[in-house]
Chains A and B, each alone.
Chain A
Amino acid sequence: NAGVTQTPKFRVLKTGQSMTLLCAQDMNHEYMYWYRQDPGMGLRLIHYSVGEGTTAKGEVPDGYNVSRLKKQNFLLGLESAAPSQTSVYFCASSFLWDRASYEQYFGPGTRLTVT
């Protein structure tokens, strides 16, 4: 099992460019999440999905869009990148029922710099 994988690992964008971050999980998890992590800010939820074809906003959704067309994939899109979106992006997934804990499993992260 690969667990949760993210592509790309690193990316540099210019202001105004667009890109898509891909998250894939092979654990048959229902829930998937996108977080961003900035120095001194902790992990903040951008968007999440409770199942194929459904998405919802988290704490900091502005400037991002997501799609979950297949259960195993969760895509995060930046339509017009801004320097404020420079961050490390983590994808996570969890079972609907996992010993009633909802432990989230994290991918390795994508380091994005917007110049």
Chain B
Amino acid sequence: GQNIDQPTEMTATEGAIVQINCTYQTSGFNGLFWYQQHAGEAPTFLSYNVLDGLEEKGRFSSFLSRSKGYSYLLLKELQMKDSASYLCAVRVDRGSTLGRLYFGRGTQLTVWP
């Protein structure tokens, strides 16, 4: 089975920086995704890391360390609209099945004014 852990809840204030961590233990690992999900809506893609290192996209950055089974999502200059659930998902390639995702339980981020 896959073991994916992320904190259940986090809070931060507008304008601040927050880091959401995700640890995983899995076989067949071939990349890690971060998705954002607002209440009552579908998940939307934020980032994908397959190699070690930091990927930056505007206010959001994602980091991966394959040897440590660790990733984080960094959100800068927080805005109220960033209040959402952030889902960590690992991609597993096994046999003829490629691209299957296993999701963590999500981290509910609340941004206060």
**A residues at B contact (CB < 8 Å):** 31, 35, 40-45, 48, 50, 56, 90, 94, 96, 100-109
Contacts of A94 in B (CB 8 A): 99
* Cross-chain contact A56 with B97 (CB below 8 angstroms): yes
Closest CB in chain B relative to A88 CB, distance in Å = 9
* Cross-chain contact B97 with A100 (CB below 8 angstroms): no
Separation of A44 and B43 alpha carbons in the complex (Å): 13
Contacts of A107 in B (CB 8 A): 42
* Cross-chain contact B105 with A42 (CB below 8 angstroms): yes
Separation of A31 and B97 alpha carbons in the complex (Å): 10
Question: Which of B41, B91, B98, B100 has most A Cβ within 10 Å?
Answer: B100
Q: Give which listed residue, A45, A90, A96, A100, contacts B43 with CB less than 8 A.
A: A90
B112 at interface by CB-CB < 8 Å: no
Contacts of A44 in B (CB 8 A): 103
Interface size of B by CB at 8 A reads 24
B74 at interface by CB-CB < 8 Å: no
Closest CB in chain B relative to A82 CB, distance in Å = 23
Please report which residues of chain B, range 34-49, place their CB below 8 angstroms from some CB of chain A when the two chains form the complex.
Answer: 41-45, 48
Contacts of B31 in A (CB 8 A): 101-102
Q: Give which listed residue, A48, A56, A108, contacts B41 with CB less than 8 A.
A: A108
Q: Give which listed residue, A96, A100, A104, A105, contacts B101 with CB less than 8 A.
A: A104
Q: Closest residue of chain A to B105, judged by CB?
A: A42
* Cross-chain contact A40 with B91 (CB below 8 angstroms): no
Question: Which of A35, A40, A101, A105 has most B Cβ within 10 Å?
Answer: A101
* Cross-chain contact A43 with B33 (CB below 8 angstroms): no
Please report which residues of chain B, range 61-99, place their CB below 8 angstroms from some CB of chain A when the two chains form the complex.
Answer: 87, 89, 91, 96-99
Separation of A66 and B109 alpha carbons in the complex (Å): 34
- Apart from the given pairs A45-B101, A104-B33, A106-B43, 18 other A-B contacts in the complex at a CB distance below 8 Å: A35-B103, A40-B8, A42-B105, A42-B106, A43-B87, A43-B89, A43-B103, A44-B103, A50-B96, A56-B97, A96-B98, A101-B33, A101-B50, A102-B91, A102-B98, A103-B48, A106-B42, A106-B44
